[in-house]
């Protein structure tokens, strides 16, 4: 069990953690939610909000009471949120894959080093192999693997949103089912 001293320390530390303090830091933090907008609630978007209501009506069924409708709305909200996250991830992957000259950061750095070495030489001497390496970019399955590896951090962040939405939806559905069961019983 956590001791009283630890609890006091945790509370004091939590009070000290109040986010960025400088104006620049605060301005940057204020834009966090706008990067991909996934942390904004779906109801803050009028289009999505309407979709939530439509889906909620469908889930609740005809003649549902206010409580059922509210539970159905929670399911719908989580489902639309999940769809939004999955769509954002898909869009991000598609956009990145469509970049013709996409390459991993590690490869770009390697190319920069080679280019640097070439430019130092006098006269310029580039072998066919070097030229091939410098002008090559991953294609096909290699490109997808490179994107997955190069954008792992962003994809992981998006995956966290998906996990949360899935969890919210699971519990919302369970609550909805439990209420239906109680009413039927």
**Chain residues that interact with other proteins, rule: CB under 8 A:** 54-55, 58-59, 75, 79, 83, 86-87, 90, 93-94, 97-98, 141-142, 144-146, 148-149, 152, 159, 166, 169-170, 173, 176-177, 180-181, 184-185
Using only C-alpha atoms, what is the Rg of the chain?
Answer: 26
> Among residues 44 and 84, whose Cβ is nearest to other proteins?
84
Contact residues for 100 (Cβ-Cβ < 8 A; gap 6+): 137
> Among residues 22 and 94, whose Cβ is nearest to other proteins?
94
CB 107 to other proteins: min, Å: 13
Element (H, E) at 43: none
**Do 143 and 103 meet the contact criterion of CB atoms below 8 Å apart?**
no
CB 97 to other proteins: min, Å: 7
Interatomic CA distance for residues 134 and 141, integer angstroms: 20
CB 122 to other proteins: min, Å: 31
> Among residues 93 and 118, whose Cβ is nearest to other proteins?
93
Contact residues for 74 (Cβ-Cβ < 8 A; gap 6+): 168, 172, 175, 176
CB 100 to other proteins: min, Å: 13
> Among residues 15 and 181, whose Cβ is nearest to other proteins?
181
**Do 138 and 103 meet the contact criterion of CB atoms below 8 Å apart?**
yes
CB 111 to other proteins: min, Å: 18
> Among residues 40 and 166, whose Cβ is nearest to other proteins?
166
Question: Sign of the CA dihedral 52, 55, 59, 60?
Answer: positive
């Amino acid at each position: 069990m956590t001791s009283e001293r630890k609890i006091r320390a945790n509370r004091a530390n939590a009070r000290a953690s109040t986010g960025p303090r400088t104006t620049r830091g605060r301005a940057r933090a204020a834009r966090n939610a706008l990067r991909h907008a996934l942390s904004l609630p779906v109801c803050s978007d009028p289009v999505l909000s309407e979709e939530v209501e439509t889906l909620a009506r469908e889930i609740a069924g005809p003649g549902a009471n206010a409580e059922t409708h509210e539970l159905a709305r929670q399911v719908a909200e989580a489902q639309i949120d999940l769809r939004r996250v999955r769509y954002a991830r898909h869009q991000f992957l598609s956009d990145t894959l469509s970049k013709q000259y996409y390459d991993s950061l590690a490869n770009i750095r390697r190319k920069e080093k080679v280019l640097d070495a070439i430019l130092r030489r006098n006269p310029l001497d580039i072998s066919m192999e070097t030229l091939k390496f410098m002008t090559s970019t991953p294609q096909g399955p290699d490109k997808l693997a490179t994107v997955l590896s190069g954008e792992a951090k962003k994809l992981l962040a998006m995956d966290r949103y998906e996990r949360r939405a899935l969890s919210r939806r699971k519990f919302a559905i369970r609550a909805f089912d439990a209420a239906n069961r109680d009413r039927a019983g």
